[in-house]
Structure 1
Amino acid sequence: MAMSGPAKTVTQTVSLVVVMGGLAWASVPFYDWFCRVTGFGGTPGVSEVASDEILDQTIKIRFDASQERGMPWEFKPVVREMELRIGETGLAFYEAYNPTDRPIAGSASYNVAPYEAGGFFSKIDCFCFEEQVLAPGERVQMPVTFYVDPEIVTDRDAKYVHSITLSYTFYQIDLPEGYAALETVNDTNLN
């Protein structure tokens, strides 16, 4: 039995809405994966090991920090700029301070500018790989270990990059369960 005109149109419309909703839902993780793999949009790569090649050419790395509106932490790079040889492993620190009287959890998003350098900037280890929780009044220095891939010097666009800026933005997230329970106990004791 064939569907009539209106029933067929409704079925096709509902199917289209379901497919479009599924594509919209999948687009964010797909885009994130695409940016991490290709360095598109200034997203740095992640590496488990340091570069095995170090060139005589140097590159400046600048460090930038900001907080999302409403994030109560103070957050800044310890050193604003360093110069290292391309392929050499660098170590930089960012400092975070929680001036409040309660624990605050945060997570960092990051990117690299100019965008052409994103695929050549590789992080070996970074505080941004995990959420951070700072106790009231706590100040910490958080490391990031990285290198600039020597292939940057042969890339058609990236070979003209002489300075890279690594930027982090911290935003507040919900406290993990253990901390949230502790905060509830402290709130109860205060009342």
Structure 2
Amino acid sequence: MQDPVARRNRRTGIAVLGVVAGMVGLSFAAVPLYAVFCRVTGYNGTVQTGGPAAPGAVAGQVTVRFAATTHPGLPWRFEAAQGSMPVHLGEQGLAFYRAANETDRAVEGVATYNVTPEVVGKYFHKTACFCFDAQTLQAGQSVEMPVSFWVDPAIAQDPNTRDIRTITLSYTFFRTLADAERTGALASAGPHVGRAAATP
């Protein structure tokens, strides 16, 4: 007869690994849910995409910095093509990010973004970008991804933003849940996660 302590330890181990597997799955699923939430609410410095075109340059300018982060589960190299650029208020700006798939098979990713300081989110308009839409890169493929944007001149009239001279636009690329499931990335995300979760 099996030792009750050993049985309890086995059940506890299986439960813990099941929780880990669930958390890994949620980390992938959270990306599209977060994207929808941010697009609707503008939360965390997320700005609205699309919308009106730039009204034209006026007096005053800000420096826009560009940041890029890649989630560990996505085997891509992702970076901003430029560190920063000065932009006149009301003027259309164009920047580029670069992504490269460093594997020998196609991989699908999706990006989220935000701007800081968060208070400038409502004044930062992106008229075109690659965010929230799945992007598939073939084995070894490299691409440039454009972002067009403008900063509302009203930023200079708001007491909370009129002294801000630098805005940082940040993108983070994640592997899509569908791609992770298709390639088995979820199962390999932790030690024996897939096998342990299925153990009776």
Residue 68 of structure 1: CA displacement?
1.1
2:107 equivalent in structure 1:
104
Tell me the distance in 1 between the aligned counterparts of 2:73 and 2:82. Answer: 25
**Of 68, 72, 81, the match for 1:69:** 72
Higher helix share: 1
- Identity of counterpart residues, as a percentage? 38
Tell me the distance in 2 between the aligned counterparts of 1:53 and 1:146. Answer: 12
Which residue identity does 1:32 align to in structure 2? C
TM-score, normalised via structure 2 length:
0.68
Which residue identity does 1:109 align to in structure 2? T
2:38 equivalent in structure 1:
32
Tell me the distance in 1 between the aligned counterparts of 2:143 and 2:35. Answer: 31
Which structure would you say has the larger Rg? 1
- Superposed CA deviations along residues 128-159 of structure 1, whole A, max 9, x for unmatched, are 14210000000000001000011101112011
* 1:163 counterpart = 2:166: yes
Alpha-carbon RMSD: 2.3
How many residues get paired?
A: 149
Residue 28 of structure 1: CA displacement?
6.5
Tell me the distance in 2 between the aligned counterparts of 1:133 and 1:47. Answer: 22
Residue 56 of structure 1: CA displacement?
1.8
Unmatched runs of 5 consecutive residues or more in structure 2: 1-32, 183-200
Identify if the C-alpha distance between structure 1 residues 143 and 42 changes in structure 2 by more than 3 Å, giving closer, same or farther: same
Query: After superposition, where does 1:4-43 map in structure 2 within 5 Å?
Result: 31-36=37-42, 40-43=43-46
Unmatched runs of 5 consecutive residues or more in structure 1: 1-26, 181-191
Tell me the distance in 1 between the aligned counterparts of 2:87 and 2:36. Answer: 33
TM-score, normalised via structure 1 length:
0.72
Identify if the C-alpha distance between structure 1 residues 32 and 84 changes in structure 2 by more than 3 Å, giving closer, same or farther: closer
Residue 92 of structure 1: CA displacement?
0.4
Give the secondary structure class of the aligned counterpart of 2:131.
helix
Identify if the C-alpha distance between structure 1 residues 78 and 113 changes in structure 2 by more than 3 Å, giving closer, same or farther: same
| Contact 2:105–2:139 (8 Å) recurs in 1 | yes
**Of 56, 62, 69, the match for 2:59:** 56
